[in-house]
Amino acid sequence: MADAFDEECDYLFKAVLIGDSGVGKSNLLSRFAKDEFRFDSKPTIGVEFAYRNIKIADKLIKAQIWDTAGQERFRAITSSYYRGALGALLVYDITRRSSFENARKWMVELREFGGKDMVVILVGNKCDLEQTREVEEEEAKGFAEREGLCFMETSALKNLNVDQVFLQMITRIHDSTSHKSLDVKADQEKQITLSDAKEIHIDAANEVTATKQTSYYYCCST
Ligand SMILES: Nc1nc2c(ncn2[C@@H]2O[C@H](COP(=O)(O)OP(=O)(O)OP(=O)(O)O)[C@@H](O)[C@H]2O)c(=O)[nH]1
Ligand SMILES: [Mg+2]
């Protein structure tokens, strides 16, 4: 059934979720993929993934989002997790400063295993917990700017900015891959092969329209 549907997709994009344990990666994904939230979610063991199909302009995109454990001992082989990923959400918890400070550590891993053109968004999750906030939005914006990342605050619990953050990432991936194919051959179709996934076809003639932005959204010009 999945294969039958794959035939209808114009693109397949793989993206990954990274960040410390307990920051809300799995709940962000379940909110995005199934509109579900769990107060009692267990730490992820190994790797899980979910899909959601998104229409940008007249193109159907299958977003394949991978989720792994923040805890080192539960993580799967890192290189295969990142292989073929075109985007990443680097998630921290706005009420847990250590999870923000560890974003640097996650950046090191991203640089080692991720592709150099990956679209990376820094995500401050649990913004519904304003009263116990330990990381100011301005500070996170500054960090994102220095690292050349986009930035957004979200709440998986209240469903704030969840669709927006995933859609920003997917739109930017679409945008950059379309530009790349234009650079290579303006009038021909280019193929990119994602290991761990299927082939995607990028038609250089297609245009991408922007998706909605929100007040929480910040992005540098890179
Ligand atoms: N208040 C609030 N709690 C949240 C939010 N997102 C997740 N949580 C809670 O935070 C806890 C951890 O969430 P998970 O999604 O399992 O965290 P994770 O990053 O996947 O953790 P690992 O799988 O161990 O890496 C759970 O108790 C969730 O209910 C949010 O936006 N707001
Ligand atoms: Mg998890």
- What is each CA distance from 219 to 33, 161, 188, 191, in whole angstroms? 24, 14, 31, 29
The whole-chain average pLDDT of the chain stands at 82
**Residue 181: enclosing H or E segment and its boundaries?**
helix 162-184
Distance CA 185, CA 90 (A): 33
Q: How confident is the model at residue 213 (pLDDT cuts 50, 70, 90)?
A: very low
Say if residues 150 and 178 touch (Cβ distance below 8 Å): no
The number of CA neighbours under 13 Å toward the Cβ of 216 is 22
133-142 pLDDT tens trace: 999 999 999 9
180 C-alpha to ligand 2 centroid (Å): 33
Nearest CA owner, ligand 1 atom 6: 24
Of 16, 18, 28, 41, the residue with max ligand 1 atoms within 8 A of its CB, to mutate for a pocket test, comes to 41
Ligand 2 centroid from CA 142, angstroms: 27
Do 202 and 192 touch, CB atoms closer than 8 A? yes
Q: Residues 78-99: pLDDT tens digits? A: 889 999 999 999 999 999 999 9
Q: Among all ligands shown, which has an atom nearest to the Cα of 129?
A: 1
Distance of CA 27 from the midpoint of ligand 1 (Å): 6
45-77 in b/e form (b: 16+ CB < 10 A) is eebbbeebebebeebebbbbbbbbbbeeeebee
All structural domains of the chain: 2-175 (3.40.50.300)
Residues with CB under 6 A from ligand 1: 21-27, 38-39, 41, 43-44, 69-71, 125-126, 128-129, 155-157
Rounded Cα–Cα distance for residues 121 and 81 (Å): 17
Question: Residue 47 phi/psi, 5° resolution?
Answer: -130, 140
Instruction: Give the range among 95-99, 106-110, 177-181, 212-216 with minimum mean pLDDT.
Output: 212-216
Q: Does the pTM of the predicted model rise above 0.85? A: no
Q: Which residues contact 15 (CB under 8 A, 6 or more apart)?
A: 63, 64, 65, 66, 85, 86, 87, 88, 89, 119, 169, 170, 173
Residue located nearest, by CA, to atom 28 of ligand 1: 39
**Phi first, then psi: what are they for 62, rounded to 5°?**
-100, 115
Nearest residue (by CA) to ligand 1, atom 8, is 24
Q: Which of helix, strand or coil describes residue 92? A: strand
Which residue, by CA, sits nearest to atom 30 of ligand 1? 126
- Which ligand lies nearest the alpha carbon of 40? 1
| Residue 203 binned pLDDT confidence (cut-offs 50, 70, 90) | very low
Res 171 pLDDT > 80? yes
| Residue of 20, 27, 161 with the most ligand 1 atoms within 8 Å of its CB, for mutation | 27
Ligand having the closest approach to the CA of 39: 1
At residue 99, the 3 state secondary structure works out as: helix
Q: What are the tens digits of pLDDT across the range 27-71?
A: 999 999 999 999 999 999 999 999 999 998 888 999 999 999 999
Q: What is the pLDDT of residue 78?
A: 86
123 pLDDT higher than 50: yes
Query: Which tokens in the block code for residue 218?
Result: 């910040």
Q: Which ligand is nearest to the CA of 19?
A: 1
Q: What is the DSSP string of 41-82?
A: PPPP-SEEEEEEEEEETTEEEEEEEEEE-SSGGG---HHHHH
